[in-house]
Amino acid sequence: MDLSILLILVQDGVINGAIYALLALSLVLVFTVTRVIFIPQGEFVSFGALTLAFLERGQAPGTLWLLVGLGVAAAIFELMGARRQLTPRLVARILAVDMALPIAISALTLWLAPQKLGVVVQVLLALAIITPIGAYLYRVAYQPLAGASVLVLLIASIGVHLALTGLGLVFFGAEGSRTDGFSSAMFDMGQLMVSGQSLWIVGITLGLVGALAAFFELTLLGKALRATAVNRLGARLVGIAPALSGAIAFTLAAFLGALSGVLVSPITTIYYDTGFIVGLKGFVAAIIAGLASYPLAGAAAIVVGIIEALSSYWASAFKEVIVFLVIIPVLLWRSWRAPVIEEEE
């Protein structure tokens, strides 16, 4: 292997790693705020990519059903939960956020999709369809379990993953899709050809990491999320609603997942179940970071991407094996540092 092949592999690794980094960041975000180990994160990648693929073909994606269906379910949960203190204003707000919004997005999509208005509009539509699903999903599946142990929440995540994967098959069928991408430009950088798409991916990831850092450090909402992460009860006592924090974390997770899907779909074919394995690689990075540190998760994701790229060159059949077993030495190391006795909740 010469330098040029190595460079190409590393470039591949960094691009995939950037995607894993986005996922790892949202996994850390969701876990720290809600204690949910968000296995279904990867489904948003598939949903984002395939929704975009359908829009490119001028078709209405099946995820609209999910958007409206979950919105209605969330409205019902919300109304039932607050049935003793319903005011006209509250009812109006619930109906607006959980029913009017998804219906409006759906109507807009049905109107715009056949017109094929170009990649920017399509990408924005895809993100608009997938992002609110995160909040509704939290309301319907997780909020009723907010007080449960990490283990119960994890099992619930598995349930959500099963349901969403099955729905993905219903919505998109078993065939994979690839999208056109933002840019077909190619740049010649010495020995390396760099595609415009890969610059987009790395650029957007860096931008988002910066934006997230600013959000958590500088805004009141970001600080509220961090407070919830540290101590739910304490946050509640000072007036931060854990349910709101949870909904925001899940909305961000859905957005980051869909964005990853939109970014990655021009460079690899996405099937309805591709997202799961992509999401698990984000998990490998998040676990390396102890599900706690954003910068560590981001860095670990890049390393995971590079390891994957290198092993796909040397031992392509064992690519996945190598990537997933990377966590073993990490777990071993964490295990050694773990306190002797640890009591769960």
The single residue among 82, 104, 110, 170 that binds another protein, judged by CB under 8 A, is 170
Taking CB under 8 A as the rule, does residue 321 contact another protein?
yes
Taking CB under 8 A as the rule, does residue 342 contact another protein?
yes
Nearer to another protein, 107 or 151 (CB): 151
Taking CB under 8 A as the rule, does residue 1 contact another protein?
no
> Do the Cβ atoms of 254 and 46 come closer than 8 Å?
no
| Rounded least distance, CB 261 to another protein, Å | 20
Site residues for another protein, 26-55, by CB under 8 A, read: 37
Taking CB under 8 A as the rule, does residue 173 contact another protein?
yes
Between helix 242-264 and helix 3-34 the angle, nearest 10°, is 160
User: What is the pattern of x (binds another protein, CB under 8 A) and - over residues 259-278?
Assistant: ------------------x-
The single residue among 149, 191, 219, 231 that binds another protein, judged by CB under 8 A, is 149
The single residue among 7, 8, 79, 155 that binds another protein, judged by CB under 8 A, is 155
The single residue among 1, 218, 237, 340 that binds another protein, judged by CB under 8 A, is 340
Taking CB under 8 A as the rule, does residue 154 contact another protein?
yes
| Count of residues interacting with another protein (CB under 8 A) | 50
User: What is the chain's alpha carbon radius of gyration, rounded to the nearest angstrom?
Assistant: 20
Nearer to another protein, 111 or 318 (CB): 318
SS in 3 state form for the chain?
A: CCHHHHHHHHHHHHHHHHHHHHHHHHHHHHHHHHCCCCCCHHHHHHHHHHHHHHHHCCCCCCHHHHHHHHHHHHHHHHHHHCHHHCCHHHHHHHHHHHHHHHHHHHHHHHHHHHHCCCHHHHHHHHHHHHHHHHHHHHHHHHHHHCCCCHHHHHHHHHHHHHHHHHHHHHHHCCCCECCCCCCCCEEEECCEEEEHHHHHHHHHHHHHHHHHHHHHHHCHHHHHHHHHHHCHHHHHHCCCCHHHHHHHHHHHHHHHHHHHHHHHCCCCCECCCHHHHHHHHHHHHHHHCCCCCHHHHHHHHHHHHHHHHHHHHHCHHHHHHHHHHCHHHHHHHHHHHCCCCCCCC
- Tell me which stretch binds another protein (CB under 8 A): 102-110, 125-133, 283-291, 298-306: 283-291
Q: Rounded CA gap, 71 and 128, in Å?
A: 13
Q: Rounded CA gap, 318 and 23, in Å?
A: 23
- Tell me which stretch binds another protein (CB under 8 A): 2-10, 150-158, 182-190, 302-310: 150-158
Q: Rounded CA gap, 163 and 47, in Å?
A: 13
Q: Rounded CA gap, 138 and 28, in Å?
A: 16
| Rounded least distance, CB 276 to another protein, Å | 9
Taking CB under 8 A as the rule, does residue 144 contact another protein?
yes
The single residue among 18, 21, 49, 164 that binds another protein, judged by CB under 8 A, is 164
Nearer to another protein, 59 or 184 (CB): 59
| Rounded least distance, CB 31 to another protein, Å | 9
Taking CB under 8 A as the rule, does residue 253 contact another protein?
no
Nearer to another protein, 125 or 287 (CB): 287
Taking CB under 8 A as the rule, does residue 301 contact another protein?
no
Taking CB under 8 A as the rule, does residue 14 contact another protein?
no
Which residue ranges make up the site for another protein (CB under 8 A)? 37, 141, 144-145, 148-152, 154-156, 158-167, 169-170, 173-174, 277, 280, 283-284, 287, 291, 317-318, 320-321, 324-325, 327-328, 331-332, 334-335, 338, 340-344
